[in-house]
Structure 1
């Protein structure tokens, strides 16, 4: 037994137990402790898992990884994941340590890890993943990640070092993701095939509008979401690859969810998802593609998705005094625009709380709010509350969009006013950034309305 690793494991387990006793989520600190004692703890702990699945991307990685977990569970495949750890390296080590025996050997054979975009290259260099799912690339936390192509270039170098033992599942509709094919790994594409979803034009907040090969303008015959769609370079041969797994005959049912026809190798099955919005349909498609790669029956995938419960704050709904609370994390223009498009697709007016923080986990630069299309709130919001550390910035942005708002600098006070304003039987809507979501989650957990975020 590796004495250094065993010491790191014991320390991580002890710190996790202690932190949990004092009410902390202990999602990262135990991993930091283990990594301080043994800098190779990630590589050593992961080496015992023959089947490691990594999920990354700007939007949807939490929901996609949870969907994959649900599919594996329904198929009877025991596994671990990092829902109790963060998606940074320290969080993966926290999860691996918490599940490992003191010998360092795992109890299961399969691990599913959601991985932060910036952390992915290092994680891939330390472990041998069997499957990697890459969902999309959008501008996000510019102060931390830089421009979106910076991440793409880092990922490009990372996948170049993969061998044929790894399978890459790539979103064919995203030019940035679909360009990651310079690799020895097996590549499988997934994407949408439904012309009726076509938007009139490419949104102004789209990120990849130029060819990743020659830099020329991309021509789109279909636009589904931001820069996701069917594209072709105006000069060089680059074009959207044909997906081996696709979703067609798509029906978006407002906040009730969506259903689509899953097509793969001439096999089709209709899947009903409880998750609303086109962005969540992409998540369900990515998870379905992975399930098929593992040989899981389409009927099992269908059942798992149909029974899925959202992760905390990801289109999650819970009830307080006969009032439904719908919560959706917001963190970048594309994600926020899609949430607004989904929530405000009907005619009834909504009561909304937008909570914007600018801590490190949120991104310190909030200029991205000016790329969000808030104009629908001016006509279709009955009442808008704003809160968080950057409530004043949010209120100013809404003013320019023509939407009136009421500001509360204290987040819990804002939540109380939100609930007090709504009528019984009404649904209210929370749109928080990450740290605001964590605080709201704790607030509602104290009221017994939902679980703490690390227990979800």
Structure 2
């Protein structure tokens, strides 16, 4: 059987070499080939790692896993991490094989694996993780995942069967995630936000879990931080938000440039000045901090390692091109889009916006989710708007119903042509805020690379 594993690794490394030679990313195909040859290869490769962490959730898993990997590496811990974001089992196998020799050995102390939310059951059974982090659960790609209740049921079944020596880290502010801690023998840690100033006035259209998962009664929210995340209580059965022992407070937004906050943990308190903006990214930071502490990292070392963390491409990274600035924010579902809008338009300054909407499989072929995004919040806050991507017409129609005027000449399915038009109209020193869906983000990456525009994503 081990001969089959060696054959799989050899074949995968060969595939990776050829793909890299011809300009491919080689983030998934090598793993797919390896799994075809040896279906047990993921278990075999991860069984040799002393520690394993799985991070999942609808939004934030890429950022959370990158932050945790940064903290661990800063502290001298050799880490294997699928940092390119290929989060199906084939992507994890590709990463493991890249970092392993032909005998399936690596020098890593720990594996940090971002895992697709629908892949969690398979990943847990094969990886046997020591720590599982679950950020949140929102509606995403209805054509692929179905309703969120189906994902929640799968997660609940997985966590119910975990051994007691596993640590699970749950978002206490998300009722669909926090509830998972009620049916597991594993050690459970909760993280969240404790800052009433961050509370919204009402639940958004994109809120998914507003009814009690125990009895079906409508939840009462004292504070709403984003979507259905906040401080909640069921007046019928008594289910309520678990009090987080790891939390952020005294939060201050700095717009697209980042935010500052205080972090409380049982092991100590510290201040952070995050270069990644938005409340949603503070959730990602707290999740990563909680995981790091559970792995034995000291608070003072976590504080130091967070100082220089920079976002991944498409996660609020700032780029410069011909004297103009670009901010790129991945926007792949209603909640994510709403939070990006909230973050970018926190002040009263009007912005130049470029929306890129695709409907390929990785984006979700059903774009009806655009109608659940609160684009009405952009009214009187945008200066110029450009729309591109395969579903540019749908996006244009959505803005029309939001009473946001868009010049028809600014609607073009060709992303590169539309980007060139936008940059040409911008004055030196102005900023363009780009909101692409997932495959549109990949298209944009290639276009910017061809224009010799690089940032932290390529440096890493």
TM-score (norm 2): 0.97
Rounded to whole Å, the distance in 1 between the matches of 2:425 and 2:313 is: 23
Rounded to whole Å, the distance in 2 between the matches of 1:437 and 1:71 is: 26
Q: 1:299, CA displacement in angstroms? A: 2.2
Q: Deviations over 1:35-90 (max 9, x none)?
A: 11001111111111121111100000001101001111111111110124610111
Q: Deviations over 1:409-453 (max 9, x none)?
A: 111101111111111111111100010000100110111112696
Rounded to whole Å, the distance in 1 between the matches of 2:24 and 2:267 is: 49
Q: Does 1:137 align with 2:130?
A: no
Alignment match, 1:404: 405
Q: 1:119, CA displacement in angstroms? A: 0.6
CA contact (8 A) 2:267 2:299 kept: no
Alignment match, 1:61: 61
Q: Within 5 Å, which residues of 2 pair with 1:254-403? A: 254-265=255-266, 267-403=268-404
Q: Within 5 Å, which residues of 2 pair with 1:178-327? A: 178-181=178-181, 182-265=183-266, 267-327=268-328
Rounded to whole Å, the distance in 1 between the matches of 2:205 and 2:258 is: 26
Rounded to whole Å, the distance in 2 between the matches of 1:349 and 1:87 is: 36
Rounded to whole Å, the distance in 2 between the matches of 1:245 and 1:6 is: 43
2:118 is paired with a residue whose SS is coil
Q: Does 1:419 align with 2:423?
A: yes
Aligned residue among 431, 434, 437 for 1:430: 434
Structure 1 segments, 4+ long, off by >4 Å, are 451-456
1:190 is paired with a residue whose SS is strand
CA contact (8 A) 1:27 1:454 kept: no
Decide whether aligned partners of structure 1 residues 204 and 85 sit closer, same or farther in structure 2, where only a CA change above 3 A counts: closer
Q: 1:251, CA displacement in angstroms? A: 1.2
1:428 is paired with a residue whose SS is strand
Decide whether aligned partners of structure 1 residues 452 and 359 sit closer, same or farther in structure 2, where only a CA change above 3 A counts: farther
Q: 1:454, CA displacement in angstroms? A: 7.6
CA contact (8 A) 1:85 1:92 kept: no
CA contact (8 A) 2:315 2:328 kept: yes
Q: 1:252, CA displacement in angstroms? A: 1.4
Alignment match, 1:442: 446
Rounded to whole Å, the distance in 2 between the matches of 1:134 and 1:452 is: 26
Count of residues in correspondence between the two structures: 456
Gaps in structure 1 of 5+ consecutive residues: none
TM-score (norm 1): 0.98
Rounded to whole Å, the distance in 1 between the matches of 2:254 and 2:191 is: 22
Rounded to whole Å, the distance in 2 between the matches of 1:436 and 1:331 is: 10
Rounded to whole Å, the distance in 2 between the matches of 1:392 and 1:342 is: 25
Q: Does 1:82 align with 2:82?
A: yes
Q: 1:260, CA displacement in angstroms? A: 1.3
Alignment match, 2:117: 117
Q: 1:250, CA displacement in angstroms? A: 1.2
Q: 1:380, CA displacement in angstroms? A: 0.9
Gaps in structure 2 of 5+ consecutive residues: none
Rounded to whole Å, the distance in 1 between the matches of 2:271 and 2:108 is: 32
Alignment match, 1:4: 4
CA contact (8 A) 2:63 2:312 kept: yes
Q: Does 1:147 align with 2:147?
A: yes
CA contact (8 A) 1:248 1:260 kept: yes
Q: 1:376, CA displacement in angstroms? A: 2.8
Rounded to whole Å, the distance in 2 between the matches of 1:250 and 1:342 is: 13
CA contact (8 A) 2:358 2:390 kept: yes
Rounded to whole Å, the distance in 2 between the matches of 1:452 and 1:20 is: 20
1:221 is paired with a residue whose SS is strand
Rounded to whole Å, the distance in 1 between the matches of 2:304 and 2:457 is: 25
Rounded to whole Å, the distance in 1 between the matches of 2:44 and 2:321 is: 45
CA contact (8 A) 2:72 2:292 kept: yes
Rounded to whole Å, the distance in 2 between the matches of 1:455 and 1:365 is: 34
Q: 1:375, CA displacement in angstroms? A: 1.5
2:448 is paired with a residue whose SS is helix
2:370 is paired with a residue whose SS is helix
Q: Does 1:50 align with 2:54?
A: no
CA contact (8 A) 1:441 1:453 kept: no
Q: 1:388, CA displacement in angstroms? A: 0.4
CA contact (8 A) 1:442 1:452 kept: no
Cα root mean square deviation, aligned: 1.4
CA contact (8 A) 1:28 1:85 kept: no
1:118 is paired with a residue whose SS is helix
Rounded to whole Å, the distance in 1 between the matches of 2:32 and 2:386 is: 38
Q: 1:245, CA displacement in angstroms? A: 0.8
